[in-house]
Amino acid sequence: MLNYEKLKDKPREFLAATSLTLEEFLTLLPAFQSAYEKRYPSDRTREGQPRQRRAGGGAKGGLQSYPDKLLFILVYQKTHPLQTMHALHFELSQPQAHYWMHHLLPIVQQALADLGLKPEREASRVRTSPLAQEGTPALAIDGTERRRQRPTDPVKQQEHYSGKKKTHTDKNLLLVNETTGKVVYLGPTEPGKTHDKQAADQAQIAYPVNATLDKDTGFQGYEPAGILSAQPKKNRKARH
């Protein structure tokens, strides 16, 4: 069974599983617990009704502690496995895993918002985002892909097939503050076949004035007005 106690002393495995260091995880944990207790008060049932017996009574679930709850949803967000596989890792049934995913995801989002770390989802608000203004306006843009279940519809199969990853994926744009390392903007989910530049053009991100933007070759030709972009050149010697 995968749990916090087994992973906390394995920094490399912890980072690979959650995308957070242990220190970052422990910074997020109090906000996560606070958001959970506000949304699901201990004197109420999961359905919001007054409890007839004290909290903790009855059958015990598989995610008892707050660290295990946070670990569960972070691992799911990082690795995006099938629900059945994710359930096996935490010794849950598939319906239980499905329940906890939908139960915990809003809590993570609220915790990030309470800490001032929730990325913008509206491209027009990036210019005034505190996450973008923190430090110097040095930004980096990239597309990130994650595997998804192969669609049954032939048209959707073609849309989601990523030639780069050689599998079916979903894609999002990420805009990161290079000074702080924080994610400023998370773009809408696009089919894996969507080109990075195409996704950026469609997003119409409003950048801070005089910002710098690092990009890779997937964004060649993407030159938003009012910013200075930089694209690394390929090392011809490395090709031989």
pLDDT tens figures, 8-61: 999 999 999 999 999 999 999 999 999 999 998 887 666 667 766 665 555 556
pLDDT at position 46: 64
Grade residue 138 by pLDDT with cuts at 50, 70 and 90. very high
Residue 127: phi, psi to the nearest 5? -55, -40
SS3 content of the chain, % helix, strand, coil (to 5): 40, 15, 40
pLDDT at position 238: 53
How do residues 151-178 score in pLDDT, each as one tens digit?
Answer: 999 999 999 999 888 899 999 999 999 9
Per-residue pLDDT, averaged over 84-108, amounts to: 95
Name the token pair of 124. 């027009």
Name the token pair of 132. 């973008």
Do 139 and 213 contact (CB within 8 A), yes or no? yes
CA dist 19 → 138, 167, 175, 230 (Å): 22, 22, 17, 27
pLDDT at position 72: 97
Query: In this structure, how many other beta carbons lie within 10 angstroms of the beta carbon of residue 3?
Result: 18
Q: Average model confidence (pLDDT) for the chain? A: 90
Grade residue 237 by pLDDT with cuts at 50, 70 and 90. low
pLDDT at position 130: 93
pLDDT at position 61: 60
Per-residue pLDDT, averaged over 85-91, amounts to: 94
Per-residue pLDDT, averaged over 191-202, amounts to: 94
Query: In this structure, how many other beta carbons lie within 10 angstroms of the beta carbon of residue 151?
Result: 15
Q: Is the pLDDT of residue 188 over 80?
A: yes
Q: Is the pLDDT of residue 148 over 80?
A: yes
What pTM did the predictor assign? 0.79
